[in-house]
Structure 1
Amino acid sequence: MTGDINLVPLPPAPATGSRPAPAAGELLKLLEPQAGLIDAGKTVDAEVLALKQGGEAFQLLLKLTLAGGRQTLVQAASSQPLPLGSHVAVSQTSAGDLAISLQQALSASGGALSRIDTSQLPIGTLLQAKVLTSQALPQGAGQPALYRSLVSVLNNALIGTTLSLESPQPLRVGSLLSAVVQGAQALDFVPLSGRQEQLAISQQLATQHSRQGSLDSLLKALQNMPHSASSAAMERLLAGLPDLAQVSNPKVLAQLLHNSGIFLEARLLAGQNPQVPPLDMKGSLLRLVAELAPALPATTNLNAILAANTLAQMLPGFVRSPLGTLGQFGARTAASSFPLPERLMRLEGESSLENLLRLAAGAISRLQSHQLSSLEQTGTTADGKLLTTWQLEIPMRTLQDIVPLQVKFQREEPAPDKDAPERKIDRDANKMLWRVELAFDMEPLGPLQVQAQLSQGKLSSQLWATRPYTASLIESHLGSLRERLVSSGIDVGDLDCHLGTPPRGPKTGLEQRWVDETA
């Protein structure tokens, strides 16, 4: 159903009957007490990086800027929410408490956006957000219930902004909502129906992008480990890497695709034993983490190690965590981009074991990014066709190097027959359209991308090389490639090589076609 949502003005002083406010100020309870964090009588700036509601309490992730410019992260509990990005001056009253003034608490609570600039987001614009908090407002006798929520915007020009909303029904914390802008302080709620799952995938994919690290970074680190320090999981992982000749074998390649990690959850649901060879890449990485973790010192925070690179997305200018230097990433890329960019983590000042765990966690997140990208690009096209996407990555050996090969398959099927009783899909192979994309960087050729399309038995392909020599070399062999394909019984259409990279427009994978064979 639909309903009205209103953006609220800055909140007034707490009404009678609401939670009593402390006279001196608001206390923030540190989840992990730290004595001497802030010098007595001093205040420091605290920025709210994350907000989570649990019942009537709220958990905050704060970045404190201490004396001398040193920064640290702390988790605290509060009796009222503080919007993401807000700044308050805090002092320390005890090892387990921080204090802010009452006026600052009220000002920060009102720091969420209370109006929408309709010149920036015109009326009719679709706004998508995640619900961070939800509180019932005190109402007089006989008055309808009213709820106030803080939501984080996920799209449009307001992405990352916190909005303060009032609604006649409570908004479930953690849920995703869509609303159409009706005015500067009015939104119309739109039911998400089938789009809710897609939005949840997109949101999770953005998180995975901030966590991921390149597969070859981990594998090269394992290669350089002294043999005495290697483990069974490390040896199995390295031994399972294929070489170029194996990847060129169709049967071996099919097995590698199956064990790339994209199907691990499906195999587990089907009751298959992941321990039975051939081993799955993602399963092997998970076993590596499980094997390395017990060797950490007892004082090491394993969860912080595995999740620390998440903070790099939240803190682009802040690379020092309580455990050491975080991996520093560049700007976020489009979630469904292909190929995924190389993501390197600079890890210093920690033991090699902790670094390996961070690299392994980043590699697992990279495989999950491919899985989520596959889901995000699977659905129904604008003209009703069904599109299924499989995106994955296979590391392979080339001499002494490890080169990740990124692969994306897309199958486009005709729309279901509306006249058929069961709306059956025509699965005639000749009516399906297949697309394949490859991306890899191999010396001395440099970065290469290949796009191929098979429609009604006809194959067309476009190749891109970033190095002029490589583009010229490929161009000189296209004639020979065409002859070999034709001699294999394949009907060949366009075969072209270009200098540079494939153009990427604003359209999503569900809307994009490389070649329209019917034009």
Structure 2
Amino acid sequence: MPSAIGATPPLPPSTSPRASQPSAELTLRLARSLGELLPPGQSAKAEVLAVKEAQVSFQLLLRLTLADGRQALATAESPRALPQGSSLNIAALSPTSLAATLLTSNSAPPLSEIDLEQVPAGTLLQGKVLSSEPLDEAEARQPAYRILLRVLNTPLAGRQLSLDSAHPLPIGSLLSAQVQASQMLRFMPLSSRLERLDLARQLASQQSRQAALPALFDALQGLKQGSDLPEGLRTAVDSLLAGLPDARQLSDPDGLAQALQRSGGFLEARLLQGLAAQGDFKANLLRLVAQLLPALGTATPALPGNGQPFAPEHALPALARSVFGVPGARAEEGGFPLPGRLILDPRDDGGLEALLKLASAALARLQTHQLSSLAQSETLPDGTLLNTWQMEIPLRQQRSLVPIQVRIQEEQRQKDREQKGEILWHLELAFDLDTLGPLQVQACLAQGALSSRIWAELDSTVRLIEGELGHLRQRLDDAGLTVNQLSCSQGKPPRSQRTAVEQHWVDENA
């Protein structure tokens, strides 16, 4: 629901000589008696939510906070205007008369335009509705409402925005809106937050079931040597093994592109486009599971790990805090690289049931990568658009398997509305070779300039890579790239600070 930022004139200055004093007293007359809510002689706190000029006075919309914490709305008549957001001490003189002492006031007039230097387009703006009043017919050609919103985040936190909306908004409601332009906001519906919650729930479910791929490959190699497999199962095993790329294929640009496409991360997208799934790793895994189920005489795959299904009711509160942003909660990152875990008991005989568990865990691992890609693709608070593709390529190396985890991120930094901003590409790799040990690579490409850093856990591997960095730099220069930095360090890279951390909130009283 887009809304324009209206130009509300500032409140008229008060002519009272007490206006400049830090504390001012005045008498307010209530439109309706508060009755037992605030009997004469009792006091409360009040906040000015809205001000409307009448013929000889001003009408105030007040939110009262009583001593026991209860809140109520009241309309009062004031001899002078009080800025929205002002805090008052009030005491009931009679059922319809209040003595008010002005404590603090927000004298800055409501904003009629957003400074895109402070809050760039694409930023998620969060606020609370202070007032919602219909516009006069002379001011609006169609039914419209003037909304006063207090900003709760960004550098504008504490300021008020005056908005023109086609729909009324409940006073006190909390809203999220994306900045479209200096005078245009697009409100984000609750459904989008619920989608993020469901995504986080699914990601937690799949990640709890996933396991590393080499165990599956070893089981397939051992199963292939047997001669008593059903024909359909043997075909499924042969197709899966034959579809795994080797080092020679990944060293060729076209072969690498094909391996990325067939890694399983794009299966659903290819099927929606009517493209064939021949050779796709995830599709071959699904065919293998489909052949294993009848061979075992079961209709549902065995769950990896302890065999217990994922119970969303246990994880839901934590997920809700991470998605909706309850204060004190911290959202988990998408997870790269995924940790390896073993799901089989060492005493397992390695039969078809064990293979089914491994295949199910491999499917969960691929789906964890897919869900992580969705979770890390978003618009950052500064308006930067981040697209993420995370996947895993099982590299066949003679009789062993080396899974290569890949994360590619496209970072589109917004410059302004007329000119397209800068695009940065981030590439991360993680793999473990028998002779070199665990390795992780991070590279950034911007405007033809490349910077890269390698982390190795073995000291011997660090020395080997450092001796080859000059040769790598030369090859990158020959490819037409400007190399800014190439380095190798021992250990593991620090947790990425580039992952989006978005501020959220919920109304705990709702």
Instruction: Pick the TM interval, shorter chain.
Output: 0.5 to 0.7
CA positional deviation for 1:215: 1.7
Answer yes or no: is 1:303 the counterpart of 2:300: yes
Q: Deviations over 1:87-122 (max 9, x none)?
A: xxxxxxxxxxxxxxxxxxxxxxxxxxxxxxxxxxxx
1:295/1:435 CA distance change after superposition, 3 Å: same
Distance 1:343 1:493 in 2: 37
Say if 1:243 and 1:398, in contact at 8 Å, map to a contact too: yes
- Distance across 1 between alignment mates of 2:348 and 2:264: 31
Residue type of the alignment partner of 1:426: K
Q: Which residue is 1:317 aligned to?
A: none
Could you report, residue by residue, the CA deviation over 1:290-326 in whole angstroms, capped at 9, with x for unpaired residues? 11111113xx4x4361467562877xxxxxxxxxxxx
Q: Give the direction of change, closer, same or farther, for the CA distance of 1:283–1:350 in structure 2 (3 Å limit).
A: same
The CA distance in 1 between the partners of 2:203 and 2:405, in whole Å, is: 17
Deviations 1:136-192 (A, max 9, x none): xxxxxxxxxxxxxxxxxxxxxxxxxxxxxxxxxxxxxxxxxx99xxxxxxxxxx973
Matched position secondary structure for 1:375: helix
Who is 2:244 aligned against?
A: 241
Residue type matched to 1:368 in 2? Answer: Q
1:253 deviates by: 0.6
Alignment of 1:135-174 (within 5 A): none
Match of 2:499 among 509, 513, 518: 509
Which protein is bigger by CA-based radius of gyration? 2
Map 1:206-217 onto structure 2 (within 5 A): 206-217=204-215
In the alignment, structure 1 residue 470 sits paired with structure 2 residue 456? no
Residues 315-326 of structure 1 aligned to structure 2 (within 5 Å): none
SS at match of 2:462: helix
**Residue of structure 1 aligned with 2:203, choices 202, 205, 219:** 205
- The question of whether the paired residues in 2 share the 8 Å contact of 1:244 and 1:398 is answered with yes
Instruction: Please give the per-residue CA displacement for 1:208-250, whole angstroms capped at 9, x wherever unaligned.
Output: 1111121221111000113413610000111111221211111
CA 1:480–1:308 in 2, change beyond 3 Å: closer, same or farther?
A: closer
Kindly indicate whether the alpha-carbon contact (under 8 Å) linking 1:210 and 1:310 is maintained by their aligned counterparts in 2: no
Match of 1:14 in 2: none
Shift of 1:373: 0.5
1:264 aligns with 2:267: yes
| Deviation of 1:350 (Å) | 6.6
Are residues 467 and 199 of structure 1, via their aligned partners in 2, closer, same or farther at CA, if it must alter by over 3 Å?
Answer: same
1:383 aligns with 2:377: no
How far the C-alpha of 1:453 sits from its partner, in A, is: 0.5
Instruction: Give per-residue Cα distances to partners, 1:459-496, cap 9 Å, x unaligned.
Output: 00010000000011111211221122112221000111
1:220 to 206, 213, 218: 218
Task: Show the 5 A alignment for 1:309-388.
Answer: 311=308, 336-347=334-345, 348=347, 352-388=351-387
Partner Cα separation in structure 2 for residue 478 and residue 194 of structure 1 = 46
How far does residue 415 in structure 1 lie from its aligned partner after superposition?
2.8
**1:487 corresponds to which letter in structure 2?**
D
Distance change (3 Å), C-alpha of 1:308 and 1:495? closer
Name the CA distance, whole Å, in 2 between partners of 1:411 and 1:448: 23
Aligned residues: 296
Q: CA deviation at 1:511?
A: 5.6
Does residue 491 of structure 1 match 2:482? yes
| Contact 1:210–1:309 (Cα < 8 Å) also in 2 | no
Q: How far apart, CA to CA, are the structure 1 residues paired with 2:386 and 2:296?
A: 45
TM-score (norm 2): 0.54
Task: State whether residues 304 and 343 of structure 2, in contact with CA within 8 Å, keep that contact through their aligned partners in structure 1.
Answer: no
The within-5 A match list for 1:175-194 is 192-194=190-192
In 1, are the aligned partners of 2:385 and 2:412 still within 8 Å (CA)? Answer: yes
Q: Distance in 2 between matches of 1:385 and 1:473?
A: 38
CA shift, 1:409, in A, is 0.4
- Structure 1 residue 334 displacement after superposition: 5.0
Letter in 2 for 1:285: L
Amino acid at match of 2:344: R
- 1:22-41 mapped onto 2 (5 Å cutoff): none
Which whole-Å CA distance do the structure 2 matches of 1:502 and 1:242 have between them?
27
Structure 2 Cα separation of the partners of residues 284 and 416 of structure 1 = 44
Contact 1:206 1:335 in 2 (8 A): no
- The structure-2 alpha-carbon separation of the partners of 1:475 and 1:313, relative to structure 1 and needing over 3 Å to count, comes to farther
The equivalent of 1:280 in structure 2 is 280
The answer on 1:438 being equivalent to 2:438 is no
- Supply the distance in 1 between the matched residues of 2:350 and 2:484 (Cα, whole angstroms): 55
Q: Distance in 1 between matches of 2:289 and 2:369?
A: 20
User: How far off is 1:351 after superposition?
Assistant: 6.8
SS at match of 1:284: helix
Is the CA contact (8 Å cut-off) linking 1:216 and 1:403 kept in structure 2?
Answer: yes
Point out the more displaced range, 487-496 or 363-372. Answer: 487-496
Instruction: State the alpha-carbon separation in 1 of the partners of residues 434 and 403 from structure 2.
Output: 12
| C-alpha displacement of 1:502 | 0.4
Q: 1:237-282 CA distances to partner (integer Å, 9 max, x unpaired)?
A: 11111221211111101001011111111112122243xx3x2110
Looking at structure 2, the residues matched to 465 and 196 of structure 1 have their Cα atoms a distance apart, in angstroms, of 40
**Change in 2 beyond 3 A, CA 1:312/1:474:** farther
Identity percentage over the alignment?
A: 49
Indicate conservation of the 8 Å contact 2:439/2:455, yes or no. yes
Structure 2 distance, partners of 1:202, 1:241, is 30
**Alpha-carbon distance between aligned partners in 1 of 2:384 and 2:307, rounded to the nearest angstrom:** 36
Given that 2:263 and 2:391 are in contact with CA atoms closer than 8 Å, whether structure 1 keeps it comes out as: yes
2:243–2:280 Cα contact (<8 Å) kept: no
Q: Give the 3-state SS of the residue equivalent to 1:206 in structure 2.
A: helix
Match of 1:139 in 2: none
RMSD: 3.0
What is the CA distance between 1:434 and its match in structure 2? 0.3
Q: Distance in 2 between matches of 1:312 and 1:201?
A: 18
Which amino acid is 2:286 matched to?
Answer: L
Counterpart code for 1:195:
R
Secondary structure at the residue paired with 1:489? coil
